Amino acid sequence: MAHIVILGAGIGGLPMAYEMRDLARAGDRVTVVSDGAKFHFVPSNPWVAVDWRRRDQIEGELAPVRKRRNVAFSAAGARRVPPAQNRVDLGDGSSLRYDYLVIATGPKLAFDEVPGLGPLSGYTQSICHVDHARSKQSSPGSRSWRLPVPWWSVPSKGRPATGLHTSSP
């Protein structure tokens, strides 16, 4: 039967693994390859940055979830993919053969390609990864994420009610 390998266990790869498992035949295998053992819910990164959530509230272990869904898992990460050989070489030196390959690894941020770009440069911020959001949350005296944000509510007596919201205490 077929072996379906999915590279990436984020908001693209994990749902794809579940869909493939649901659509696959009984004898087909589904394997997810990730470079870590945890799932991070990326859309919640802004909440971490403004102290509305902690990292542990937006991440979870992949092993129990994928086990319930009968999906194999490797946290070794992919090193290279020789497509002519239908193989994924993993970070631990092993390899996986596949019949079908789905690549859902997400972006590789390239802050170094633009001078001054990225959270380490001091000129820009990022919440693309939970570590970036968390570093802003835990930086003593950092007010970058605590700027006032305008908000609007429903109209009151024909006029829109406006206000100012800040996440600072």
Taking only the tens place, the pLDDT of each residue in 55-96 is 999 999 988 877 888 999 999 999 999 999 999 999 999 999
pLDDT value, residue 136: 55
> What are the boundaries of each domain within the chain?
3-103, 111-152
DSSP the chain: --EEEEE--STTHHHHHHHHHHHS-TT-EEEEE-SSSEEE-GGGHHHHHTTSS-GGGSEEEHHHHHHHTT-EEE-S-EEE--GGGTEEEETTS-EEE-SEEEE-------GGGSTT-STTTSS----SSHHHHHHHHHSTT--TT---EEEEEEEETTEEEEEEE----
Q: Does domain 3-103 have CATH number 3.50.50.60?
A: yes
**Whether this model's pTM surpasses 0.85:** no
